[in-house]
Amino acid sequence: MNPKVGRKLSNHNVIKVNLQDRSYPITIGSALLSDDFNSDKWIQGKDCLIVTNETVAPLYLDVMKSNIDDKTIEVITIKDGEHYKTIDTWSKIIDKLTAMRANRDTTIIALGGGVLGDIAGFAAATFMRGLPFIQVPTTLLAQVDSSVGGKTGVNHKDGKNLIGSFYQPTMVISDIDVLSTLPDREYKCGLAEIIKYGAIYDVDFFAWLENNMSDLLIRAPKKLIYAISRSCQIKANIVGEDEFELGKRAILNFGHTFGHALENIMGYGELLHGEAVAIGMIIASKLSPINSVEHNRLISLIKSANLPHKIELNDKNQMLDVMKTDKKVKNKKLRFVLLRSLGEAFIEEDLSENEILDAINNPFS
């Protein structure tokens, strides 16, 4: 499909992340990367660096640049994929900033998916102790999750996102038109995160997803804008209460402890993040005190989104060893996000290894 950017600005939603002097808007709609939506006022200084990747640049770099007037624009294009979410890639962005003689008024614009946004955000957080940056997510997963909330970082060989910081953007621009070029497999990864929001926070939204998943799968614009907006509002509510994940924000990790372990074992990029989270949510739900009817509703919704719901591993016990290196471990105890019911999540750390292994090995029983 060809990108449909550059049309006149249509209806759009604005969600605010309330963090006092670090508050910022998330704008969600179509035709946002057209000249009708001017990004200039969000660029604080006289210059900016657009960080993009080899997949996104041919599609959206020119239209992004045309959206910026009266600024000096520099560009760095990095490799695409989870394999490149590394200190080495971060270092290349830092090298580019030094070469262009960036200062603390230089704005970084992250034009790409979640991996790129995390790396560019980490560069913004660390160069000269902090540069302003704008998130322009080009995948559904990034639009509903990673571009919002200020988590930035890179992977380490021993775990996902082990190196990073909390650092908020100045704005998020989510144009649904860019999703027209997103491959189905990557698009469905975003649906996994959308399902997560209903499961942990809003049972009515979960029911809406059950009734509208077929429309979301064909990327119906109005339904898509609503699903993204509701997901972002839920995340904004949670982040506004707990920016640094000291308490409630941890519920956003539902399915992620198991999911990150699966990604690590299989190799980053072999199992996509949303696919791993989908499987992880089923395992976490199995561990939960949720009733069997609701557990099966979650499984059914994940299946209806055409997401993987199980995976074969030679040694599932290996997942437990990998999870012990997860950054959510506290006082040497594994912490899991579980469900009391659909729409109500909580944190549990008093689980035996036998209980955890049983859920990994028997998630459907």
Q: Of the listed 53, 67, 155, 253, which one is catalytic?
A: 253
Neighbours of 93 (CB within 10 A): 21
Q: Which of 12, 160, 188, 235 does the annotation list as catalytic?
A: 235
Query: What are the Cα distances from residue 50, in Å, to 25, 97, 143, 219?
Result: 19, 11, 18, 27
- In this structure, the dihedral spanned by the alpha carbons of residues 187, 43, 240 and 113, taken in order and rounded to 10 degrees, is 20
Candidates 96, 188, 196, 260; catalytic one? 260
- 253 is annotated as an active-site residue: yes
Q: For residues 49 and 67, what is the distance between their CA atoms, to the nearest angstrom?
A: 14
Catalytic residue among 101, 129, 157, 332: 129
**Does 156 participate in catalysis according to the annotation?**
no
Q: Which tokens in the block code for residue 118? A: 């995390």
Catalytic residue among 273, 295, 297, 328: 273
Q: Taking a C-beta distance cutoff of 8 angstroms, is the pair 10, 222 a contact?
A: no
User: Is residue 295 annotated as part of the catalytic site, yes or no?
Assistant: no
Edge to edge, what strands does the sheet with 47-53 contain? 12-17, 24-29, 171-175, 133-137, 107-112, 47-53, 72-78
Q: Which residues of 276-286 are buried (b: 16+ CB within 10 A; e: fewer)?
A: bbbbbbbbbbb
249 is annotated as an active-site residue: yes
Catalytic residue among 249, 286, 297, 328: 249
The count of other CB atoms within 10 Å of the CB of residue 91 is 12
Is the CA virtual torsion 344, 204, 245, 122 positive or negative?
Answer: positive
* Cβ partners under 8 Å of residue 134, min gap 6: 39, 42, 43, 107, 108, 109, 110, 169, 170, 171, 172, 173
CA 46 – CA 49 distance, rounded (Å): 11
Residue 260 annotated as catalytic: yes
Helices and strands in the chain, H and E counts:
12, 11
Of these residues, 85, 151, 160, 188, which one is catalytic? 151
Catalytic residue among 256, 286, 297, 335: 256
User: In the chain, where do the E strands start and end?
Assistant: 12-17, 24-29, 47-53, 72-78, 107-112, 133-137, 151-156, 159-166, 171-175, 336-341, 344-348
Known catalytic residue at 297: no
CA distance 82 to 16: 29
Active site residue 273: yes
Question: Is 309 part of the annotated catalytic residue set?
Answer: no
Is 263 assigned a catalytic role? no
Catalytic residues: 129, 151, 193, 235, 245, 249, 253, 256, 260, 273
